[in-house]
Amino acid sequence: MPTHITVLPSDAQKTLQTSSLRPFRLPHPRTGIPALFLPHGSTILELNSISPDAPRSWFVDQSVVSDGKLVLMTPIDPAFILIPLLRAVLAKASQFYSDNISSLPFLQDPQPSFKPTDDFLEELEAQQTQLEDIPRFLHIPPDITVQRPSAERITSFLKRRVDRVAAAQEPSADSTGPTFPTVHRQHLRLGLSVDELGPDTDEGAKSIRAGARIKIACEIIGTWVEESLMAEVLKTYDITAYSEYAEARAAQARAELALATAKAEAQEFKKGPKGEGSGTKRKAGGQGTRGVDKLKKANTKGMASLTTFFVKKQ
């Protein structure tokens, strides 16, 4: 059995058994491209293979794993997998899902290495309480309950996830709270530092940072949500302050780049072409070789001129 180096949550490492790792192959909720998923408790693990640019091996104990790929298992909400399936029922769903979701070959693939899609849906029934807020329930007779997809409920569900991620970015006085270095670097890249934007006591700076946190949260959640749907969710927020600030910084960056380019061109124009108008003396030619110097000193007295070799014979 081949060995693979995997990065996964610690609780998943304790519960998952190697013999039972049979992932599901489903369309990725954002791109629709086939991807591998593995249910685990109340979440689902997305499997990503990271291949190195150059050949690489892993040293594990006293053995060497020649396959240098790294398998990354990222826990995500199972609702992200179901949202495209639910939107396919709606009239305004994306053309890809509405036309092809029922006929995709990887959903009907009989290969034994992957579990069938029906098993995936059955396993998610155990988490039905967490998914009940996405569809709208219709009680027709007392003993029949119909679940109908609702675009409003899907949007509301995604907004709750965005608000949760945005709230996690807010600075906290608790030093033991979670930190996100990647998000912090993105804040600095967007010019949200105290030195550049000012403290939160300024209402303008506070509004800009709040809008930036929403924008970053939408980008994070958008990793598993269709782009058009995520754009609709972003429109429900008022991030005007951040949008204007980002546009002003972009315009300033373009102006600084144009100014630097103009200065560089002016400096090149003042120098002129190489060897002209510089006012500096040209360097003397390099020293000749020994053979050339000896030929210059050779005594040619009595030798016929080279021109005699090209004169027409009488």
- What CATH number is attached to the domain comprising 116? 2.20.25.530
Contacting residues for 163 by C-beta, under 8 A, at least 6 apart: 217
Provide the residue type at 243 as one letter. Answer: S
Same domain as 87, residue 8: yes
Tell me the H-state helices in the chain.
10-15, 79-87, 95-100, 117-124, 128-131, 151-169, 181-189, 194-197, 203-221, 227-235, 240-271, 290-297
Domain limits at 240? 150-267
Together in a domain, 156 and 213? yes
Residue 119 pLDDT: 57
Cβ(165)–Cβ(185) under 8 Å?
no
CA distance 131 to 121: 12
Provide the residue-wise pLDDT of the chain in tens; the chain has 314 residues: 567 788 888 777 766 665 566 788 888 989 888 898 888 777 788 998 888 787 788 887 878 887 778 888 888 888 888 888 777 776 544 455 545 555 554 445 544 455 555 555 555 554 555 556 666 655 556 666 656 677 888 899 999 999 999 888 877 655 455 556 677 777 777 777 777 777 777 788 888 888 888 998 999 999 999 999 999 999 999 999 988 888 888 888 889 889 999 988 888 887 766 555 445 555 555 566 777 777 777 777 777 776 776 666 65
pLDDT at 6: 81
- Cα 156 to Cα 160, 239, 286: the distances in Å are 6, 18, 78
Q: Are residues 223 and 186 in the same domain?
A: yes
- 101 and 216 fall within a common domain: no
Asked if residue 7 and residue 113 are part of one domain, the reply reads: yes
Q: How far apart are CA 5 and CA 17, in angstroms?
A: 15
In a domain, 305, yes or no: no
- Same domain, residue pair 155 and 74: no
Rounded distance, CA 170 to CA 124, Å?
Answer: 33
The DSSP secondary structure of 54-102, one letter per residue, reads S---EEETTEEE----EEEEEEE-THHHHHHHHHTTSTTS-HHHHHHTT
Does any domain span residue 96? yes
- State how far the Cα of 39 lies from the Cα of 24, in Å rounded to an integer: 8
pLDDT for the residue numbered 20: 61
Domain contains 279: no
In this structure, the answer to whether residues 67 and 190 fall within a common structural domain is: no
**Tell me, what's the pLDDT at 93?**
46
Q: Is the dihedral of CA 154, 156, 159, 160 positive or negative?
A: negative
Q: Which pLDDT score, from 0 to 100, does residue 191 have?
A: 74
Taking CA atoms, 271 is separated from 5, 121, 258, 290, in Å, by: 58, 72, 20, 37
pTM of the model: 0.65
Q: Is there a domain that residue 202 lies in?
A: yes
In a domain, 314, yes or no: no
In one-letter notation, the amino acid at residue 174 is D
83: which residues sit within 8 A by CB, 6+ positions away?
29, 134, 154, 157, 158, 225, 226, 229
**Residue 123 and residue 16 share a domain:** yes
Verify that 67 and 107 share a domain, yes or no: yes
- Final residue of a structural domain among 105, 134, 163: 134
Q: What is the C-alpha separation between 139 and 179, in angstroms, rounded?
A: 45
pLDDT at 22: 75
Residues 156 and 117 in one domain: no
Total number of domains in the chain: 2
Q: Specify whether 164 is located in the same domain as 106.
A: no
Q: Residue 207 domain-assigned?
A: yes
Residue 307: inside a domain: no
Amino acid at 169: Q
- Considering the domain architecture, whether residues 211 and 171 belong to the same structural domain is answered as yes
The dihedral built from the CA positions of residue 19, 75, 146 and 149, taken in this order, carries a sign that is negative
- 40 closest CA partner among 126, 102, 118: 126
Whether residue 273 lies inside any domain: the answer is no
**Entry field: residues in the chain:** 314
